[in-house]
Amino acid sequence: MRKPRKVALISVHDYPRGMYSAYWNISVTGDDLIGYKWTARLFAYEPTAWEHEGRLTKDRPEGVPYPDLPGDVIFKGKPVPQDRFVTLTPADQAEVVMMQEVRRERIAEATEAAPKPVYAIFEKPNAPSWNEVIEATDGTETRDEADAAAQQWVLDRIEGFRRADAVELSDDDVKVLVAEFDRARRQKEYGKCDKMRGMLKAARIKIEEQVSIGYEGDTAWSRGKAKGKAAKVNSVMVMPNPVDVWGAIRDTARELWDKLAKPLLALAYSATARNNRLDELTALIDAGTAGLFRIYDGSRPATCGTATTLLAELTLSATSSAAASGGDLTFNPITADSSANAGGTATWFRIVDSAGTCVIDGDVGTSGSDLNLNSTTISILQEVSVSSAVITEGNA
């Protein structure tokens, strides 16, 4: 698993697709003896050009059909997910492997003949040479220095790709996000905190956590008119003046609630009850044939709401998981998506049954999220896999 960056200057949460038209890719190579070299590139969410028969055009060539890709391998009348493959005889496994190789070759042929979307952002889009990708490399002494230089290179350019039609957050929108940030922080849901902080930062909203005597938590926020200019404070949610009678009453009420709520809310369920609740999820997912594990970009909708752009679709085992045990539901092997549907930044996922009926929604990140990927940047046609998945039904 890729280790998190020690130098974190830029976060994917700070530049959501709804407000920016580009994302980035950073790589660092080298070692302590020869030094490190970094490479950074910017990519558009929508194709900047189309490559077909050795030529590049601004629009997709007309009259060229979309590739007709072969479906899943069918052996003896049934698809062959990984859990079924391992139960086949060696002779049948060899035949399935040969069928899978033929399918891959046909996919490659169909893809090669079709127009290919180009997502790289060109520094000189009107230049004769279309391969002048925005890219920079540099030799540095340490990996952290290389990583910082690459991230700073992106920071210097990404603001130029802020969408002109980006929806600005109203004061009411900001208050809702700040309240959600406070709730997530108190629940120690740090992945969601990062997401909320990023959405606010993308809207040029700066938040500062305040601490006051007797109660910890309220958040101040201010809106910056433009980059580089002083921020104007629209509203500050801070503790009232100590002489404020209503403020004192509110503090007393909060303190009393904190004392009363903990024993009242500390419910605990037996292992059998927790396992039964988890097994109900399995029954919903397994309705019909194998369920699907879908990964999306953009802002996560309300639970089971209208989905955004589908980046990848993985297939669950026909029996998605074994019976829950100890409050844990462990998924059986998940078949990777060998060719991602679209390129973008993964932000949330949905598990559905074979008919597409929503069962579970969750956040995607690289750490501290419901689903953690090595990288949230997904390129079209890239393989996307989930090595393991466990849902825990815990006690308060």
pLDDT tens digits, 238-272: 333 334 444 555 555 555 545 444 444 456 778 88
pLDDT of 38 above 60 = yes
Nearest to 278 by CA among 323, 332, 334, 320: 323
Q: Report phi then psi at 253, rounded to 5.
A: -65, -40
**Mean pLDDT within 123-132:** 38
Q: What is the pLDDT of residue 359?
A: 93
Q: What is the pLDDT of residue 212?
A: 35
Q: What is the pLDDT of residue 135?
A: 54
Separation of alpha carbons 186 and 220, rounded Å? 16
Separation of alpha carbons 363 and 375, rounded Å? 14
pLDDT interval class at 98 (50, 70, 90): very high
pLDDT of 13 above 60 = yes
pLDDT interval class at 210 (50, 70, 90): very low
Tens digit of each residue's pLDDT (9 = 90 or more) over 273-284: 888 888 899 999
pLDDT of 131 above 50 = no
Q: What is the pLDDT of residue 285?
A: 92
Q: Mean pLDDT for the chain?
A: 76
**Mean pLDDT within 36-46:** 83
Q: What percent of the chain has pLDDT over 90?
A: 12
Q: What is the pLDDT of residue 44?
A: 84
> 177 Cβ partners below 8 Å, 6+ apart?
169, 196, 199, 200, 205
pLDDT of 325 above 50 = yes
Q: What is the pLDDT of residue 211?
A: 37
Q: What is the pLDDT of residue 43?
A: 84
pLDDT interval class at 216 (50, 70, 90): very low
The answer to whether 277 and 393 are in contact (CB under 8 A) is yes
Count of Cβ atoms closer than 10 Å to residue 327 Cβ: 19
Q: What is the pLDDT of residue 361?
A: 92
Distance of CA 114 to the CA centre of its chain: 28
The larger pLDDT score, comparing residue 167 to residue 200, is at: 200
Q: What is the pLDDT of residue 10?
A: 82
Distance of CA 128 to the CA centre of its chain: 36
Q: What is the pLDDT of residue 349?
A: 94
